[in-house]
Chains A and B, each alone.
Chain A
Amino acid sequence: MTLLPLIFDGVLGFTLLWLAWQLLGSPDLFRAIVLFIAFGLLMALIWVRLDAPDVALAEAAIGAGLTGALLLAALARLGPPSETASLDNQGDRASVAEGGGLPFRRWLVALHLVLACGLGYAVMSLPSAAPGLSDAVANSLALSGVSNPVTAVLLNFRAYDTLLEMGVLLLALLAVWSLGSTPDAPPDDQPVGGVLALLARLLTPLLLLVAGYLLWVGGRAPGGAFQAGSVLGAAGVLLVLAGWRLGRRFAQLPLRIMLVAGLVLFMAVGLFVMLVGGDFLTYPHASAGGLILLIEAAATLSIGMILAALFLGIRPDSRADQ
């Protein structure tokens, strides 16, 4: 029976490579994006095989779901798909037919083969058993306030990374909002079918429930702020697709408070423990669990809102003015 998982892994790995080849080579961009969504789902399966259920949850929600929706929306904004597809075709043919194109590509393929072989050799020559930091994490897990090691790393041992990442998300949203008002704003006035609205109404409360569950369970089982936040973001994307928009009253200050809440609360907790007498972001052991849950709750809200806002791509209040 040891052969069966081996075959399964082999099929997974080679299908993943084949999908990547297909999606990067197919002349039709719509097809490429759909293949990319399938690629993300396969990645989620591989994370489960590699004993990384936390990563699998994040990948299934973000890598397969949100990124796919984002790219499909971008493709729709680029114009009629048939036109872009044919343009893409012409471009590819032209670039191959061009005089200097083919030798250049041969050299490029050779270089990439050398690169792949070098990297492969480096990986194969690594020591086959290296515990890495797993012992260090396991030894101090009792002090972290949570029992899920990934959450402990994300929000306690390497909380700095997560804090800065919240900043990265906000920066990306700022840049998107600054650049977002393109001259040809998306027409996006398609009549929304009753089925989609019904689906959004049915699924949104359920997604909120799942997000809350993932947040709560993250301390001791796979889950946590990022997974919960991405589920929340998916709920937001569904609502946006069903034609729902933030009211003008909430699009100004309340929205912005929600967006920065995660980062601000994170920093506030970090500074607070400094006042109490520790270093920045080193929680006292007794209250670590509660502080982590507090930070995660705010981070979940912010991540969800930021992801939905990134999908919308335009400042919600600028839309309300129209």
Chain B
Amino acid sequence: MAIDEVVSILLLLAGAVFFFAGTLGLLRFPDIYTRLHALTKADNVGLGLMVAGLALQAESAAAVGKLMVIWLLVLLAGGSVAHLVAAAARRRGIVPWKR
């Protein structure tokens, strides 16, 4: 097995771990703000790792470019939507969780 395949598999696995952590946070964190935090942060990094892992296996530079565009779009949409959800929650008067 070539070295880039090993690195690719490791990156994909690391991405999966981040997705798992993000989902765990979404399910287990106490309020909407912390859940959003877990979801967007972990999933953005997880997707970045996945994209990096897949880019190593890509056939052409164009495919790598498309993967990068997908990641950037998800970053943009994810960040904006998280902001909108949090802003809507604040407008409704949901108080951030304190232990």
Contacts and interface: CB of A to CB of B under 8 A. Distances in A.
Interface residues of B, number: 7
Contact of A202 (B76, B83, B84, B87): B76
A193 B76 contact: no
Residues of B contacting A: mostly: helix
Residues of A contacting B: mostly: helix
A193 B82 CA distance: 13
A38 to B, nearest CB: 13
Interface residues of A, number: 8
A199 B87 contact: no
Contacts of A202: 76
A168 interface: no
Contacts of B77: 199, 203
Interface in A181-235: 193, 195-196, 198-199, 202-203, 206
A193 B87 CA distance: 9
Contacts of B57: none
Contacts of B87: 193, 195
Interface string A81-120: 0000000000000000000000000000000000000000
A195 B76 contact: no
A128 B83 CA distance: 51
A206 B77 CA distance: 13
Interface string B74-99: 00110010011001000000000000
A196 B76 contact: no
Nearest to A199: B80
Contact of B83 (A195, A203, A206): A195
7 contacts: A193-B87, A195-B80, A195-B83, A195-B87, A199-B77, A203-B76, A203-B77
Given A195-B87, A198-B80, 13 more contacts: A193-B83, A193-B84, A193-B87, A195-B80, A195-B84, A196-B80, A196-B84, A199-B77, A199-B80, A202-B76, A203-B76, A203-B77, A206-B73
